[in-house]
Amino acid sequence: MARLNSVIGALESGQHAFAAFAAPEPAAALDFAGSDYDGLVFEAEHKPWDAANLRDSLQYLLDRRRIFEGDTLAPSPTPFVRVPVNGAEHGQWHAKQALDLGAYGIVWPHISRVEEARNAVAACRYPRQPEAGRFEPAGLRGDAPAAAARYWGLSTQDYYAKADVWPLAPDGEILVVIQIEDQLGIENLPAILDEVPGIGLILIGEGDLSQELGVPRQLDHPLMVEARARIVKTCLEHDVVVGHPHVTARNAEQVVAEGYRFLMTAPVRGYPGLERGRELTGRTSS
């Protein structure tokens, strides 16, 4: 059976996966509904948390004709949510609400310690009886599946069977993404990956990491290059996918060569008619 989560499908088959951030607003969702991204991360860390707006955005992301022609229930792109709280805040309720609305994964910002990573995975799982060691970290997600099952196009029981974290649960369709955004997180990353199963991928938080290193937004600074390399090396050693949040036409080749497999790009809008018209009428910028 085809994957419902297109990002997991790409990564599981050894491919690269492509995603972008978007505001949790219907207009933004419509802009991305026809795109070729595998995933779309609704940004609720630096945008207001508004569950009703997020619910509507998830709906506007669905393109019924595209789903019908694809002969699959999978939305395209697959929706994820970056929650507002830092890892140390253990904000399970944001993840619970996002998953209950139908999100296929959670991006957790500022994960720096093993216990924070364990909470991130546990918050995305339902409590289950131990089964061949698969239910550790034990789930903490509350039970309210109706809206999510409807959004996924599944019965409640089928949703329960799919609503677990990959790759810990091989058939799971929920992706847990943790962001490493400080030096403590880099130091603890080997222990995090050794001790917490169920982390689907690591996403580097370049903005906050550069702030802590004293080189804000100087992403090519040697300190940033070294920090990113340490994260990538640790992920590759543990066979965990690592993601780059700022892929551009200029650095894409290098990013792929360095081993990143989850590539986030910012859509670029152009105004060729406006630019040509200003040129022809002498309105060019000075």
CA distance 112 to 88: 8
Are 197 and 121 a contacting pair, CB within 8 Å?
yes
Q: Measured on CA atoms in the order 213, 226, 89, 77, is the torsion positive or negative?
A: positive
Q: Measured on CA atoms in the order 109, 110, 112, 115, is the torsion positive or negative?
A: negative
Per-residue pLDDT reduced to its tens digit, 224-270: 999 999 999 999 999 999 999 999 999 999 999 999 999 999 988 88
Instruction: Specify if 1 maps to a domain.
Output: no
The CATH number of whichever domain residue 255 belongs to comes to 3.20.20.60
Instruction: Specify if 248 maps to a domain.
Output: yes
Instruction: Specify if 285 maps to a domain.
Output: no
pLDDT for position 72: 85
pLDDT for position 267: 86
Indicate the burial class of 94 (C-beta count within 10 angstroms; 0-12, 13-18, 19 or more).
Answer: buried
Instruction: Specify if 200 maps to a domain.
Output: yes
CA distance 58 to 195: 33
What tokens does 106 get? 């959670």
pLDDT for position 278: 87
Question: Residues in the chain with pLDDT < 70?
Answer: 1, 130-134, 285-286
CA distance 199 to 108: 11
pLDDT for position 220: 95
Q: Look-up: residue for tokens 């698969």?
A: 134
Are 160 and 194 a contacting pair, CB within 8 Å?
no
Number of domains in the chain: 1
pTM value is 0.94
Using DSSP bridges, classify how beta strands 105-108 and 165-166 pair: parallel, antiparallel or unpaired: unpaired
DSSP 111-163: --SHHHHHHHHHTTS------TTTT-SPP---S--HHHHHHHT--HHHHHHH-
The whole domain housing 126 covers 6-280
Per-residue pLDDT reduced to its tens digit, 186-208: 999 999 999 999 999 999 999 99
CA distance 268 to 142: 39
Neighbours of 155 (CB within 10 A): 12
Instruction: Specify if 286 maps to a domain.
Output: no
